[in-house]
Amino acid sequence: MKKRGLISVAAAAALAAASLVAYAPASNAAAKTITLAFQGPLTGEEAQVGQDELAGMLYAVKLFNAKNKGKYVVKVVRADDQGDPAQAAKVAPGIASNKKVIGLVGAAYSGATIASLPFYKQRNLAMVSPSATRVSITDPAAGAIGFPVFHRVVVTDKVQGPSLFKLATKGVSSPKVFVVDDQSAYGVGLVDYMKPGIPAGQSAGFDSVSDKTTDWSATIAKVKTAGANVVIYTGYFPQAAVFFKQLRDSGYTGVLAGGDGVLSPSFVTLAPASVLEGVRLTAGTVPLADISDKLEADFQKKMGKASGVYAAESIDATNIFLSCVSKGVSTRAAMLKCVKKFKGKSLTGANLSFDKNGDVAGGVMNGFEVKAGKIVFTGPVK
Amino acid sequence: MFGNFLDQFWSLTFGGLSLGFIYILIALGYTMVYGVLRMINFANSEVFMVGTFATIIIIRDVFKFTQTSEYATGPRLWLILGTALIASMLVSGILSVLIELVAYRRLRRMNSGILAPLISAIGVSMVLAESMRIMTDSRPVASPRAMEKSFIGKFFDADIRLDNTIIIVAAIILLAILMAFVNKTRLGKAIRAVSMNGNAAKLMGINIDGVVSITFLVGGLMTGAAGFFYVLKYENSSFSIGFELGIAAFTAAILGGIGNIKGAFYGGLVLGLLETYASFFLGTQWKAVTVFVILVLVLYTRPNGLFGEAMTQSRA
């Protein structure tokens, strides 16, 4: 409730600012104010993901505003959905009915995206998500519920599931794979896309563990009785670090692997380097520092903190809107049209455009490995 | 499945026991205050959370460990562990006393009833958790490893790990000291007197405010020790950890019979073991369901918890 209040305050402030601009003399070559919105978890358990993405967006906007001084001023309205569908359904109407907002970066999470979609579709607000990877949003077989407003710059779990399995078992003779999910839609979904690709005899079992778990001894006992030599965790890094640590401490010596939820710069600060050595990770994203150290340094200088997991995607998503803004787009209808037709480059230099369902065209999974307490990019998963 | 369970029985049991002892120590924070004031001190979960951070600060910032440091050994290791334990206990103990002074004392003097302190407790809890969230930027914070998690022996087929052993032994010593304090000292007697009948105790010249402060202090010390053991075992913490462990410990206190030290003890052990076994048999996703179904069944037959009847004898 409190957050909703904040947003309406923000909306009111935006309206007030707009009316001030309207009363200014027309001849004044004042910069054109454009408002974009961000939606993701800004408080609560998942706040870090949202805060990191928001920082990516604000970074892109900062660069744009500096470059277009006197021409455009882009403002960002924040919608905090806590990564929670119920919360998303409360904040989305405010964004949808805020006429100043002509584009939305988000939502960060798939569940929250689905809960928000009806409001944005009704009001024709273009969305570009940096990280909502659930396949059904764009899948025509599932009704392509995101069409036409939803787009994403991240590769989906349909690609990640099999890639993660491939990377985890790479070089392991007679792999016996134990897969643990975190009961989130993300974790369970990833396992579902992995399952059909698991060869007969290579599965050692599955477990589904709440993301509130602090003690993993039961799961560890199952891994041991199953005789697994590869353990894949589909969840997020805070739990992954704890799980992997307890698993190694119990004497497990096999492969450890995880998906993009585990790939965070914070992951390696959460467990001793010796424990995480060799952990294999997949992600559609590449950390800013792996794109270029200069970029990461500039990001830290401007934002006052290190970039997070989806920094590159957040910047890419924002840049799509900004490129449309610099083409003179200032309405929702024009923005949606412009995003659909967008053709450009991502931060990594890959071609960036959308297919008709809003998925990024092409797109590959990248492999990473933890080496001496650092996450090292090991190239695309083949 | 059952054969597998027997294979893993002892390692599950050791894991469950050390978790159980952590629950016991936090449950004491709830149960002692309840015994004296008939009030649920919901802020105790955050006292625990702050205790975990005290340990992390000692290990990370005072002794300068990082995730790539060599592990400490010998006397230096015991110095580090001892310092961290005492620091967590003191920080949590003092915090607990302060919470009582700021949030409850005036309400109690004004005879505010039950609801006002309850809300005040929830408020304190949120203030502490949210302040920590802001200070940690919502991120989980890891404690670098100071002690190698070595195996020190075998019990049947199960490896006995050093950290679990330290937790169980140290917790038993702390509980013995607590029992001696409550049962053998004048202050302990005063606490018991207030818990049995506050007005009568007052008429006997017992300083109620003093006893209440001591109770919060002792509960906080135990909860702080739990914070240390938690970090020793799991090596991480976050602003939300208090809520998660707090609910479990509170459940343990209810299960055993709240207001009663023995209840906290058995409640914590039963809960720790039950959670671990249930996760193994039914899958970790059924852990919470199993635990609460059993809690409800216990309360159906024994509404005051497993040891509810013994309340008047050994209530603290």
Q: Which of A51, A213, A224 is the closest to B8 by Cβ?
A: A224
Q: Which fold has domain A157-283+365-380?
A: Rossmann fold (3.40.50)
Task: Establish whether domains A2-155+290-349 and A157-283+365-380 are of one fold.
Answer: yes
- Quote the DSSP letter at residue A79: E
The answer on pLDDT for A90 being more than 90 is yes
How many whole angstroms separate alpha carbon B253 and alpha carbon A213? 20
pLDDT of residue A74: 96
Portion of chain A with pLDDT greater than 70, in percent? 92
A129: helix, coil or strand? Answer: strand
**C-alpha closest to that of B122 among B40, B244, B30, B21:** B40
Q: For chain B, how many structural domains are there in total? A: 1
pLDDT of residue A212: 77
**pTM (whole model) above 0.95:** no
Quick check: B15 contacting A, CB < 8 Å?
A: yes
| pLDDT tens figures, B1-24 | 677 777 788 888 988 999 999 999
A106: helix, coil or strand? Answer: coil
What's the mean pLDDT in A356-360?
90
- Read off the pLDDT band of A214 (50, 70, 90): confident
- Read off the pLDDT band of A342 (50, 70, 90): very high
**Using the beta-carbon criterion (under 8 Å), do B236 and A241 form an inter-chain contact?**
yes
Q: What is the phi/psi pair of residue A116, to 5°?
A: -90, -25
pLDDT of residue B313: 45
Q: Are the C-beta atoms of A148 and A356 separated by less than 8 Å? A: no
* Residues ≥6 apart with Cβ < 8 Å to A117: A137, A145, A146, A149, A150
| Degrees to nearest 5, angle at CA B29 with B27 and B30 | 65
Q: Which residues of A touch B (CB under 8 A)?
A: 43-45, 47-48, 51, 183, 207-210, 212-215, 217-219, 221-222, 224-225, 238, 241-242, 245-246, 249-251, 266, 268-273, 275, 305, 372-373
- Read off the pLDDT band of A303 (50, 70, 90): very high
* Residues ≥6 apart with Cβ < 8 Å to B134: none
Enter the ipTM.
0.76
Q: Are the C-beta atoms of A150 and A358 separated by less than 8 Å? A: yes
Helical H segments across A195-234, by residue range: 217-226
The answer on pLDDT for A236 being more than 80 is yes
**Using the beta-carbon criterion (under 8 Å), do B142 and A43 form an inter-chain contact?**
no
Q: Which of B142, B144, B284 is the closest to A209 by Cβ?
A: B284
Portion of chain A with pLDDT greater than 90, in percent? 65
How many whole angstroms separate alpha carbon B230 and alpha carbon B222? 12
B7: chain A residues, CB-CB within 8 Å: 225
Beta strands at A101-105 and B236-237: parallel, antiparallel or unpaired = unpaired
pLDDT of residue A140: 87
How many whole angstroms separate alpha carbon B174 and alpha carbon B25? 9
**C-alpha closest to that of B145 among A255, A245, A374:** A245
**Using the beta-carbon criterion (under 8 Å), do A48 and B161 form an inter-chain contact?**
no
| pLDDT tens figures, B91-126 | 999 999 999 999 999 998 888 888 898 899 999 999
The answer on pLDDT for B72 being more than 60 is yes
| pLDDT tens figures, A72-85 | 999 999 999 999 99
pLDDT of residue B302: 86
The edge-to-edge listing of strands for the beta sheet with A230-234 is: A203-208, A177-181, A230-234, A255-258, A280-283, A366-371, A374-380
How many whole angstroms separate alpha carbon B181 and alpha carbon B133? 36
Quick check: B83 contacting A, CB < 8 Å?
A: no
Interface A:B, Cβ pairs < 8 A: 101
The answer on pLDDT for A348 being more than 50 is yes
Amino acid type, B165 = T
**Using the beta-carbon criterion (under 8 Å), do A221 and B144 form an inter-chain contact?**
no
Beta strands at A343-345 and A230-234: parallel, antiparallel or unpaired = unpaired
* Range(s) of the domain holding residue B171: 2-314
Place of tokens 């990564």: A83
The answer on pLDDT for A145 being more than 60 is yes
Say which range, A55-64, A154-163, A199-208, B44-53, has the weakest mean pLDDT. A154-163
- Quote the DSSP letter at residue A140: G
Superfamily grouping for domain A2-155+290-349: Response regulator (3.40.50.2300)
B132: helix, coil or strand? Answer: helix
Q: Mutation target for B interface from A217, A237, A245, A374: give the one with most B CBs within 10 A.
A: A217
Q: Which of A218, A222, A251 is the closest to B276 by Cβ?
A: A218
Place of tokens 């580090």: B80
**Using the beta-carbon criterion (under 8 Å), do A372 and B279 form an inter-chain contact?**
no
* Residues ≥6 apart with Cβ < 8 Å to A284: A133, A154, A155, A159, A160, A260, A313, A363, A364, A365, A366
The answer on pLDDT for A15 being more than 50 is no
Q: What is the dihedral of CA A327, A330, A335, A338, to 10 degrees?
A: -20
The edge-to-edge listing of strands for the beta sheet with A72-80 is: A72-80, A32-40, A101-105, A127-129, A150-152
| pLDDT tens figures, B185-227 | 999 999 999 988 888 999 999 999 999 999 999 999 999 999 9
Average pLDDT, chain B: 89
Tokens linked to A100: 């100043």
Quick check: B234 contacting A, CB < 8 Å?
A: yes
The answer on pLDDT for B314 being more than 70 is no
**Using the beta-carbon criterion (under 8 Å), do B244 and A212 form an inter-chain contact?**
yes
| pLDDT tens figures, A98-144 | 999 999 998 999 999 999 999 999 999 999 999 998 888 998 888 88
Q: Are the C-beta atoms of A42 and A33 separated by less than 8 Å? A: no
Q: CA distances (Å), B68 to each of A13, B65, B141, B176, in order?
A: 49, 8, 16, 37
Q: Which of A45, A47, A183 is the closest to B285 by Cβ?
A: A183
CATH of the domain at B187: 1.10.3470
- Read off the pLDDT band of A25 (50, 70, 90): very low
Average pLDDT, chain A: 88
Q: Are the C-beta atoms of A268 and A306 separated by less than 8 Å? A: no
**Using the beta-carbon criterion (under 8 Å), do B240 and A224 form an inter-chain contact?**
no
Break chain A into its structural domains and give their ranges. 2-155+290-349, 157-283+365-380
pLDDT of residue B152: 85
The answer on pLDDT for A206 being more than 80 is yes
Comparing B313 with A52, which gets the higher pLDDT?
A: A52
B249: helix, coil or strand? Answer: helix
Q: Which of A219, A241, A242 is the closest to B284 by Cβ?
A: A219
Interhelix angle B241-256/B115-135, rounded to 10 degrees, is 150
Residue B288 CB coordination number (10 Å)? 17
State the smallest CA–CA distance between residue A279 and chain B in angstroms: 15
What's the mean pLDDT in A182-211?
91
Q: What is the dihedral of CA B129, B134, B135, B141, to 10 degrees?
A: 70
The answer on pLDDT for A65 being more than 80 is yes
pLDDT of residue A24: 42
Portion of chain B with pLDDT greater than 90, in percent? 57
State the smallest CA–CA distance between residue B161 and chain A in angstroms: 9
**Using the beta-carbon criterion (under 8 Å), do A214 and B240 form an inter-chain contact?**
no
Comparing B312 with A303, which gets the higher pLDDT?
A: A303
B246: chain A residues, CB-CB within 8 Å: none
Tokens linked to A45: 């358990």
**Using the beta-carbon criterion (under 8 Å), do B67 and A268 form an inter-chain contact?**
yes
pLDDT of residue A22: 44
**Using the beta-carbon criterion (under 8 Å), do A210 and B284 form an inter-chain contact?**
yes
